[in-house]
Structures are given as C-alpha cells and as structure tokens.
A and B are shown apart, each in its own frame.
Chain A
Amino acid sequence: MMVTTEAAAAVRPPGDEDLSLLLTIRAFEEKLLDLFGRGMLNGTTHTCLGQEYVPVAMEGLLEARDHVFSNHRGHGHYLARHRDPEGLLAEIMGRRGAVCAGVGGSQHIRRERYLSTGVQGESLPVACGVALHLRRTEPGALACVYIGDGTFGEGGVYEALNLAALWRLPLLVVVENNGIAQSTPIARSMAGSIAGRAAAFGVEHRRIESMEVDEIRAQLADAVRAVREGAPLVAEFVTPRLGPHSKGDDTRPAEEIARLRAVDWYARYAEAEPERFQRLDREARAAVDAVAEDVVAREPS
C-alpha cells in the first residue's frame, strides 16, 4: 500500500454535493454491516469503506450516455451513478422496490447503463463489446469498467486490453488497487505492475494517489477525453480497503488497518471542516436510516 499521509494532508474536503455523496456511501456501507451484524442480511456483503471517493470522483468525469460496469464491491459505484440507496438496499435485502427484483442481489445489478457482475474479469470483454457499439452508433460515449488489483489474475483482462488497443475502443478501466485481493496481498499475486501491464498493450496508464475528488478529476480529465476519441485508458487508484473482504475475514495486522484509517478521508474531512462535515454527515446518516427503516419493513420482492 502506497497511500501517504503527505498527499492526504494537503487538501480540503470537496463541495457539498460530492461530500454528501461520499457520506451517503459511507453511511450506506456502515448500515449494511450493522444490519449484517443483527442477522438481517442474507448471504454476504462486500463493502467499499475507504474507497468511496473513487466512483464519486469518476462520476464527475462520466456522462449520462456512458456505460458503467461494476464488480462484487459495487455499492459505491451504483450509488454514485444512480443515487438510489432505496433500490439498492431493497435489492440486497430482497424487498419490494428492489432494482433487480431481488434476483441479482449485491453483485448483479443492472439499471439503464449500469451493470455489475460477480465474476472477476468477466465484464472487461463485455465492456469492449459495448464500446464497439458506442464507437459506431454514439461516438464520444465510453464504457467504464471498475476492477480491482486482484482482477489482474484473470486472462480475460489481457484479451480485452489487447482488443481495446487494437480496435481503438472507448474503454476506460478504473482499477481500485487496494493492495489486497480477499486475503492475498498484491505482492503475492502480481509480478511486475499494473503500469507495466498496460504498457505492454500500448494502453495509456495513469496512477492516482490522491484521494481528493477535484484533484483526481483534474488529473484524469484529458485522458478521459482521449478515451472518448478511442484511446483506451487504465486509471489505477491507489486506495485503502478499510474493511474486510466481505465480513469478519480480515487477516491484516492491526497496525496496517490503523495506518489505513489514518489516511481515511472521513476522519480527515471531519477534522478539517467540522461544522459543515457534521451537518452533511448527519443528513446522510438520517437519510440512510430512514431508507433502512422503510425497506426493512417491506414485504419480499
């Protein structure tokens, strides 16, 4: 993990809308863990605690006509795209109003141009197909795919990168490199680097160490514009996974978690602008609480 406190200390919290979205995703994920702890969630859950800023930053660069593909850790991606905690929680709990009628659950969600799947690396070739469609029928639109560092173990990633470069597809690969795949640290799963792998295909690679949404957008704006013209991009975010892979399965040492928590945007923003932060945080938590209270009481989907 390369997150540095120097980089983190230099910035201010984002504007109200972005901060509210960050706080909503945080509140939503913590609510899920709470519901899970009380035995009210079926199956499993993968939270994106610590990584919320990635989809929030990306939404500022994406357009409504773009397609977004997500993975197993996709609640933040969905909430950033559709601002729909109600439909998502109903989906996760199998209640009336579920965005996919409760069939897909946390990992298999489709709404308009957003789609997630639960198998690693599977969405990249699919996104290439969508990008091929867009290039011909909606030039300027792109297909954005969220993957993790662990996803680079899958061969489909390389087949897709090769095709995207060969066919000049508007494909944007956002890598949430949290340095750990379930319980396996990246040092034990990846030879070489993500940059090196992108370079092998002649695909542009940007490494983002900032956690500040405005700074991130400024760093990526030109490269995302180029994606729309057919120059695929791998945007690698170095990002902390604060929680376990799913639930109660974190094998990392306590010091490592503490180090990640020290750079978490939540604590830093709370300290930087306590008044605005507390106000927006209260609003976000109240809204998520209300959604949860409503959804929990609903009949099955």
Chain B
Amino acid sequence: MRVVENLNAALHELMERDPELYLLGEDVVDPYGGAFKVTKGLSTRFPDRVLSTPISENAITGVAAGLALAGNSAIVEIMFGDFVTLAFDQLVNFAAKSVSMYGAPVPMRMVVRCPVGGGRGYGPTHSQSLQKHFIGVPGLALYEVSPFRDNAAVLAEMFARQEPCVLFEDKVLYTRPMNEVAAPFRLDEQSPGVARVSLDERPDCVVIAPGGVAHRAMAAMSSLLLEEEIVCTLLVPSRLYPLGLELPPGTRRVFVVEESTGGGTWGAEVAHQIHRAHWDALDGPVTLVHSADSVIPTAPHLESAVLVDASTIHRVIRETLRG
C-alpha cells in the first residue's frame, strides 16, 4: 500500500467512525478528490461533512475552529502547505490559544493537513517545508506523515490530544510504499510513535529524520554502510512537537535531517533538547542536515542544488565521523 492510499483509507475510516467529523478544503470533493487525491471518495460517501470551500485558508481554518468549539471534530486540507501562512492567525492566535486562554481547558479537536516539500518543480511558493514556523506555539502539536506509521493511528492520536494539530505530508512521500526498508536494515518501533530502522550491531551514529526525508536518510545509510562501513540507526518520530524522543543508550553521535531550508529549524530545537539531556555522553554537538538557506527554485538543476538529498546526508555524516 502506498502512503497516499493509507492516508485516504485512514480518512475514510475516521469519517465513518465519527459522525461529528467534518473535512474542509479547496477542491476536496469528487470527482477531483483533492490536488493530491488524498480525499478521493470521501465526499461521495459523506456529502454533508466533506465540503469544498472557496480559496479562503483563513476562513476554512476559522470554520474548523468554530466546529471544534461547538463539539465537532474537523480536518482542514491546505492544498499546498505553503498557503498555511494565510491561516496563521486562526491557528496561532485563535485555535491554539483557545485551548488554555479561557482559564479552563477547551477541547479543540482539529487537524490542519499540509502537503509540503519540493522535488517536483513547483517553485518557491509551492515547495516549502514550513514546519519550523509552527514550533513552540502553546496548544499546537505538529506531526509529520511517516511511511512507518499507520495514519489512522496518527489521526486518532491527534484528535485525542484535544488541541489543534498540524499534519505535514511530504508530497514526494505520497507515492512511496508503506513500511518498506532496504535489506539488511530492519524496521521496528523504538517507542510509541517513533519508528526505528537499524542493524543488529552497535551503530556509529543516530540519525533523526521526519517521515518526509526518511527515504533519503535510508539511502544515505545504505551507501554509508557499503562504502564506508559506517553503521547508522534511523529514528523517525511521528510527532515533531512537542518532541517525545529518547536516544538509544550509548548514543555518541547524532544527526538531525529535515527538508526545511536553513535558519531557525526544527533540527535546532531537537539539538537543543538533546544537548540539554545528553551533552556529557556525546562525542560532539548534534549535526544539522537541511536544505540551503534559500528560496526553492523551480528549474530542476537549481532546485536539487538547494534541497537536502541522500548524497548530502551521506557526505555530512562521513565528514563528521571521519573528518
């Protein structure tokens, strides 16, 4: 099963199980079924609760917050995650704050889905990974779709938090298969919501990467193993913030990989947390691997020069460990 099919099935399952759940977004109804077909079939089955909207990200997100206030659950699809900046006020100043600013907890069951990432030549305003802009907002949790975690479980967990959540979905990941790792690596769960891709032997380093870059990290792990005999363990957290991640015992080297462009990144926040907890046990500071500090160009040769890829990850890990 491909990631997009898993996500679509999860939405079908949730809509069926929860008659109080709405899904809103631009062009989400059939026969179109969303720009990336994630919502395919939903409006046919649930026409009253799956609604195509005008191009109004602020209003759509506000409507979801209103539904949540009134006791419903709501999912918003932002067609391209880049456009979530238009919903920033509703998310940050209203939905997330409502959880606690009225003195008593207000349950806000809403999820804003954001297809993100480049690699498809969509250019500077349709290719970004904006996770970093949402870190550290009280009452707002951030998740990223992973090829290693069933999205029905992810969505159920987000709604159970009773606070607004943003789900980042790497567009390139949609067509990848679920739960597939290359031999000799094997896949298991390190802790609830954190997938681990590892070998039996003790790793030289731990690589932390969200779902969108997991395949690039795994490609680098394979080439590092074959060409350099460097052994890596990959951790893929489903929840990016607040981060609940434990380093394996004995970890001495850590790399954090993400597609975000440089500056104020998620990885910087992860590194800070790891430094606070494990500074004395590490051989060196956490190394951040991300895209260049740049807009994301359209032409393929320019875009690939900016975005983080497997060869960059390979090179940074080799240089850091071997000098």
Contacts and interface: CB of A to CB of B under 8 A. Distances in A.
Chains A and B are bound partners: yes
Interface string B7-18: 000000000000
B102 A110 contact: yes
Nearest to B87: A125
Nearest to B106: A110
Contacts of B93: 117, 119, 122
B62 interface: yes
How many B residues touch the partner, as a band? Answer: 20 to 34
Contacts, number: 110
B64 interface: yes
Interface string B46-86: 00100101101011111111111111101000000000000
B103 A129 contact: no
B58 A163 contact: no
Nearest to A128: B63
A126 B94 contact: yes
A162 B65 contact: no
A128 B104 contact: no
A129 B69 contact: yes
A108 to B, nearest CB: 5
Contacts of B101: 100, 103-104, 108
Interface residues of A, number: 36
Contacts of A67: 70
B54 A159 contact: yes
A123 to B, nearest CB: 8
B228 interface: no
Interface stretch (A131-139, A176-184, A187-195): A131-139
B66 A127 contact: yes
A144 to B, nearest CB: 13
Nearest to B65: A126
Contacts of B104: 100-101
B58 A159 contact: yes
A23 interface: no
Contact of B90 (A99, A104, A125): A125
B89 interface: yes
B88 to A, nearest CB: 11
Interface in A100-153: 100-104, 108-110, 115, 117, 119, 122, 124-134, 136, 143
A185 interface: no
A125 B102 contact: no
Contacts of A99: 103
Contacts of B59: 124-125, 128, 156, 159-160, 162-163
A155 interface: yes
Contacts of B94: 117, 119, 122, 126
Contacts of B65: 125-126, 129
Given A130-B69, A160-B62, A122 B56 contact: no
26 contacts: A98-B103, A100-B103, A102-B103, A103-B102, A108-B97, A108-B101, A109-B102, A110-B98, A115-B69, A115-B102, A119-B93, A119-B94, A122-B90, A122-B94, A125-B56, A125-B60, A125-B62, A126-B66, A129-B63, A129-B69, A131-B66, A133-B70, A143-B66, A156-B62, A159-B56, A163-B63
